[in-house]
Amino acid sequence: MSRYSSSPEGVVQITSIPERLPWLALLALAMTGFTCIVTETIPAGLLPQIEEGLHITKAMAGQLVTLYALGSLVAAIPFAMFTGGIRRRPLLLAVIIGFLVFNTITALSSSYALTLAARFFAGVAAGAAWGMIAGYARRMVPDALRGRALAVAMVGTPIALTFGVPAGTLLGDVIGWRWVFGLMSLLTLVLLVWVLWKVPDYPGQPAGQRMSVGRVFMLPGIRPILFVVLTWMLAHNILYTYIAPFLERSGLAGRTDLVLLVFGVAALISIWIVGLVIDRKLRQPVVLSLLGFALVSVALWIGGTSAPVVFAAVALWGLTFGGAATLLQTALAEASGEEAVDIVMPINTTVWNLAIAGGGIVGGVLVELVGVQAFPGVLLLLLVLALITVWSARRYGFPR
């Protein structure tokens, strides 16, 4: 199959599209996502070592995560606007080189200020990557395989969330935190070769064809989908960020690693299931996922002090969350059309990071003022709002 496109110079180009999934190319994108998540979260398991190595407090060490998230938040939309006309593979390689440079600086730096700066710019690279991955994956395959291709490209996220922090913590104990960041740099070198070897190149969009952020935001269906992204991910991050204190009620605080492993394995299963159905159904999996997460909140509300109930609820939570990124990004891509997908995905990245930050803030306020027992009720309220939005977006956003 061939696809016709125009280069920024106005030259018509013919791109060969494979009739089946280009697994190695899509897995390179998944590895890019894995790198984004692990680079972001790995300091969480290394805080004591970073504190000692840089001679700072734990709170100061925690800002390594904050600065990374801030970089992703502020960079995603501007990066997409200013790089829309650049060919895709050189741009992806530049982003990966950014991870290589800034992880290496983090590994070698003895200055707290320099380390914070490196973390911020690593976050900028992540914001740029998240804005590219979905559109890149969809361009590699025919229309009938786009949802499945996106599911493969997103599989790096749950793998990183499940195994990245525990593996990084274990390696930190064995080889030291600086070598962990050095190892991430080595992985990016492998990823550079992988992208050059297997990932095809595509032209950027000519300036006259690129849509503005405001125009994309006003497209039918975009705002309802982004509202669902915000409410769904805010609910998720309230619970995920404060899962350790929440587990104290059921006596599982010392088994947080096992609980998150159950969540991660269920999330991987969810991605596989969503990948099987997404090219035929979109609305139904979104509704079922939100209903399932609402059921989780009810179960935790009623039986949050029971360890068996918590384990069952966490497994269902993972099943409802694993395919969320694929479902929501597919909905955004379908609502925006191919001419706007490279703008709508950075908007999604921004909203997603706002939900992550909001989960930390809202969860922290609830913990301090009410206690973790308030979590299920707040989650249920957010999920009901998301369900109402999906239900009402029957024509645009989440069509029947």
Mean pLDDT of 144-166: 82
Which CATH architecture group holds 213-392?
A: Up-down Bundle (1.20)
Residue 23 in this model has a pLDDT that exceeds 60: yes
65 is written with which tokens? Answer: 């995560």
CA distance 306 to 299: 10
4: β partners: 14
Per-residue pLDDT averaged across 29-37, rounded?
94
Q: Give CA separation, 52 vs 43, 47, 315, in Å.
A: 13, 9, 36
pLDDT at 11 over 50: no
What pLDDT was estimated at residue 2? Answer: 47
pLDDT for position 42:
85
Residue 266 pLDDT grade (very low, low, confident, very high; cuts 50, 70, 90): very high
Q: What pLDDT is stored for residue 4 in this prediction?
A: 45
Please check the confidence at residue 12 and state whether its pLDDT lies above 60.
Answer: no
State the chain's maximal CA–CA distance in angstroms: 64
Give the highest mean pLDDT range of 44-58, 101-115, 263-277, 319-333.
101-115
Taking the C-alpha atoms of residue 357 and residue 123, their distance in angstroms, rounded to an integer, is: 14
Distances (CA, A) of 97 to 126, 295, 319: 11, 43, 34
> From CA 236, how far away is CA 228, in angstroms rounded?
12
Going by pLDDT thresholds of 50, 70 and 90, the confidence category of residue 209 is low
**Mean pLDDT on 235-249:** 87
- Pairwise pLDDT comparison (355 vs 5), residue with the higher score: 355
CATH value of 17-206 in 1.20.1250.20, 1.10.3720.10, 3.40.50.150, 3.40.50.280 = 1.20.1250.20
Most confident of 56-60, 137-141, 289-293: 289-293
Which two tokens mark 255?
């088994």
Same fold, 17-206 and 213-392: yes
Banded pLDDT at 111 (limits 50, 70, 90): very high
Domain boundaries, the chain: 17-206, 213-392
Encode pLDDT of 40-50 as tens digits: 888 877 878 88
* Average pLDDT over the chain, rounded to an integer: 87
Percent of the chain with pLDDT over 90: 42
